Amino acid sequence: MSDGPKTVTAAVIVIGDEILSGRTKDLNLGFLAEALNDVGVQLREARFVADLEGEIVDAVNALRARFDYVFTTGGIGPTHDDITADSIGAAFGLAVDHNEEAMAILTAHYTHTGAEFNQARMRMARTPIGASLVENPVSKAPGFRVENVYVLAGIPSVCQAMFHSLKHELVGGDPVQSVAIAVHLAEGTLANGLTALQEKYPDVGLGSYPFYRDGRFGASIVARSQVPDRLADAAHEIRQMMRDLGGEPIEDDAQ
């Protein structure tokens, strides 16, 4: 007898005053949500925190206890406000020092480029004692992992490259699949039928998203599940409900 789908969860902590001020637009959260689902890990929570050690420590300790994986983005560069390494060390009660492997990687990189490997750049080789490195194919300064917490760069291209370097380490469950069906009917018209379907399919998440397209109001119903057969059955009933209410279901890519 099947035990049902296996669920593996994650949280993301986006670190940086520049994100919270609006000066920099976060592009990493959406990427990580999709990339994690592709490997069978469901993103369940995201937090945005300032460059304050206490805030980072509190977020890391709260989330690493609740989720299988935690990913942080930002704050591992060469400047004074890049405090993520020290904050992760504080969260785990670990000293932070220059990682020998990271120092070797950066020494080789700056020798190759001819740029000075100064004290500021050496900050990018600092990790909590015992951390394992996450490869950075783009700019070489590595991320790192302590237990179930992965520390990634904030620059989107670097964050994405780091994730692709580490994703083979992740042990995922069954991925969540989704179907989106739009209709030119008001949400209020769909509400009762949608409630009944949610009760009938508790293993399928149903969400309603109103829209205004081509001069007409409507709603897109998105169904998500780890069980493909149940998802297909629920989608079939959603389409039939829309027809019964006088609408014509439209397969919707705008999920």
Task: Parse the chain into domains and list their residue ranges.
Answer: 9-169, 177-251
β-bridge mates for residue 46, sequence order: 12
Rounded to an integer, what distance in angstroms lies between the CA atom of residue 83 and that of residue 146? 16
Token pair 């919707």 is found at 252
Pairing mode of beta strands 96-98, 132-134: unpaired
Rounded to an integer, what distance in angstroms lies between the CA atom of residue 241 and that of residue 255? 20
Give the per-residue pLDDT at 2.
53
Residue 1, pLDDT above cutoff 50: no
Q: What is the DSSP string of 119-155?
A: HHHHGGGEEETTPEEE--TTT---EEEETTEEEE-SS
Token pair 């900050």 is found at 123
Q: Residue ranges of the alpha helices (H) in 43-129?
A: 53-64, 84-92, 100-113, 119-122
Give the per-residue pLDDT at 126.
97
pLDDT in tens, 2-24: 567 899 999 999 999 999 999 99
pLDDT in tens, 66-106: 999 999 999 999 999 899 999 999 999 999 999 999 999 99
pLDDT interval class at 247 (50, 70, 90): very high
Answer whether CATH 3.40.980.10 is correct for domain 9-169.
yes
Residue 254, pLDDT above cutoff 50: no
pTM (two decimals): 0.87
Burial of 212-222, coded b for 16+ CB within 10 Å and e otherwise, reads: eeeeeebbbbb
Q: Is 194 helix (H, G, I), strand (E, B) or coil?
A: helix
Burial of 77-92, coded b for 16+ CB within 10 Å and e otherwise, reads: beeeebbbbbbbbbbb
Q: For the chain, how big is the Rg over CA atoms in Å?
A: 22
% pLDDT > 90, the chain = 93
pLDDT in tens, 194-220: 999 999 999 999 999 999 988 899 999
Main-chain phi, psi angles of 44, to 5 degrees: -110, -20
Rounded to an integer, what distance in angstroms lies between the CA atom of residue 204 and that of residue 177? 10
pLDDT interval class at 57 (50, 70, 90): very high
In this structure, are residues 135 and 163 in contact, taking their beta carbons and an 8 Å threshold? no
In this structure, are residues 51 and 43 in contact, taking their beta carbons and an 8 Å threshold? no
- Supply the mean pLDDT for the chain: 95
CB proximity list for 172: less than 8 A, separation 6 or greater:
8, 39, 40, 41
Architecture of domain 177-251: 2-Layer Sandwich (3.30)
